[in-house]
Copies of this chain bind each other. A is one copy, B any other.
Amino acid sequence: MALIVQKYGGTRVGDVERIRNVARRVAATRQAGHDVVVVVSAMARETDRLLALAHQVAERPNERELDVILATGEQVSIGLLSLAIQELGCRARSFTGNQVRILTDQTHSQARILRIDTRRVLEALEAGEVAIVAGFQGVTAEEEVTTLGRGGSDLTAVAMAAALGAQVCEIYTDVEGVYTADPDLVPTARKLRRISYEEMLELASLGARVLQTRSVEYAKNYHVPIHVRSSFSEGGGTFVVAEDAAMEKVVVSGIAYNVNEAKITVAGVADRPGVAAKLFGAVAEANVVVDMIVQNVSQDGSTTDISFTVGRPDYRKTLEIVRGVAVEIGGAAVLGNDQIAKVSIVGVGMRTHSGVAARMFEALAREKINILMISTSEIKVSCVIEARYAELAVRTLHDTFGLGEPPREEEPLPVSTGAAPGRAGRGGRRGAARRGAPRARAARRR
Chain A positions within 8 Å of B, measured between CB atoms, are 16, 19-20, 50, 53-54, 56-58, 61-62, 64-66, 68-69, 71-72, 75-76, 78-80, 82-84, 86-87, 93-94, 96, 98-99, 143-145
Contacts and interface: CB of A to CB of B under 8 A. Distances in A.
A96 B53 CA distance: 19
Given A57-B19, A143-B99, A75 B78 contact: no
A65 B84 CA distance: 10
A145 B62 contact: no
Given A143-B98, A145-B96, A69 B79 contact: yes
A65 B82 contact: yes
Nearest to A145: B96
A83 B96 contact: no
A53 B13 CA distance: 12
B80 A69 contact: yes
A244 to B, nearest CB: 42
Contacts of A84: 57-58
A57 B75 contact: no
Contact of A96 (B61, B68, B79, B87): B68
Contacts of A80: 53-54, 57, 65, 69
Contacts of A20: 57
Contact of A87 (B57, B66, B78, B87): B57
A66 B76 CA distance: 9
Contacts of A72: 72, 75-76
Given A53-B76, A65-B86, A72-B72, 19 more contacts: A16-B56, A19-B57, A53-B80, A57-B83, A57-B84, A58-B83, A58-B86, A62-B86, A65-B80, A65-B94, A68-B75, A68-B78, A68-B82, A69-B75, A69-B76, A72-B76, A75-B75, A98-B143, A99-B143
B79 A65 contact: yes
A18 to B, nearest CB: 11
Nearest to A100: B143
A69 B69 CA distance: 14
A82 B62 contact: yes
Contact of A50 (B50, B58, B76, B96): B76
A64 B124 CA distance: 14
Given A50-B76, A96-B145, A87 B69 contact: no
Contacts of A82: 62, 65, 68
25 contacts: A16-B53, A16-B57, A19-B57, A20-B57, A54-B79, A57-B83, A57-B84, A58-B83, A61-B83, A62-B86, A64-B93, A65-B82, A65-B86, A65-B94, A68-B79, A68-B82, A68-B96, A69-B75, A69-B76, A69-B80, A71-B75, A72-B72, A96-B145, A98-B98, A99-B143
Nearest to A68: B79
Most buried by B among A61, A68, A75: A68
A285 to B, nearest CB: 26
Contacts of A99: 143-144
Contacts of A58: 83-84, 86-87
Contacts of A50: 76
A56 B81 CA distance: 12
A45 to B, nearest CB: 14
Contacts of A69: 75-76, 79-80
Contacts of A83: 54, 57-58, 61-62, 65-66
A113 to B, nearest CB: 19
A324 to B, nearest CB: 33
A141 B86 CA distance: 24
